[in-house]
Amino acid sequence: MSIKELIKQYSDNSCNSSFSYLLRKKRLDLCVKILDVNAFTNILDVGGTEHIWIGTGFESNVTILNVNIVKKVIPFKYVNCNACNMESLEDKSYDLVFSNSVIEHVGDIKHQKMFANEIVRVGKKCWVQTPNKYFPIEPHFIFPLFQFMPKNVQRYIGMNWKYSHLKRNGENIIDELQRLRLLTKVELQMLFPEFTIYEEKYYGMTKSLIAYYK
């Protein structure tokens, strides 16, 4: 298997057999179990897509919140706004606010706090997942210890490492590097002080962190 095929099998969320997609599905199943999600649960997915929900039976329950929504899929509902300022949504207007691998993309700690405050304000129950900063493989660039390298080294690798998840998706690498800020468990707990923090393990190491409230 080539490096390209290996990384695709590991990290391609659009591939239903990839490690990343299967892990997201497993994570969603855990969310459903812990937060008692059912056919009557009104769900807001902040910064996500329809893909993870298709085939779950919750499609008609889910509203996707994102910026610059272009394509819409029936029966999903949509809200076009910034996750750090959901002013169009009322307090506790959703039974569950769900967010998977988004908070690390919104910018500095100030914007991450704004994001967290809006999640707490809008949701009766909440589920926020983010990659663990101390996991050795950075999940967006698929490169060992990338998150601990100097910014100039990150820029060089980001622009030249053709196997990164962001590069395959055609995203602006420089813009993403400016916004990307991985979180530690301590920082996530600080952002969500009332929440329980769950550590998602991979071969004994914490791959992802999940803050949830029920």
- Per-residue pLDDT, averaged over 167-187, amounts to 88
- The predicted pLDDT at position 150 comes to 96
- The residue behind tokens 């926020």 is 128
- Per-residue pLDDT, averaged over 132-151, amounts to 96
Distance CA 71, CA 192 (A): 32
Q: Is the pLDDT of residue 15 over 90?
A: no
- The residue behind tokens 């990384």 is 7
Q: What is the CATH number of domain 3-213?
A: 3.40.50.150
- The predicted pLDDT at position 24 comes to 78
- Per-residue pLDDT, averaged over 175-190, amounts to 96
Largest distance between two CA atoms of the chain? 50
Q: Is the pLDDT of residue 3 over 70?
A: no
Mean pLDDT score across all residues of the chain:
91
Distance CA 122, CA 177 (A): 28
Q: Is the pLDDT of residue 8 over 60?
A: no
> pLDDT per residue over 34-91, tens digit each?
999 999 999 999 999 999 999 999 999 999 999 988 889 999 999 999 999 999 999 9
pLDDT band at 164 (very low <50, low <70, confident <90, very high): confident
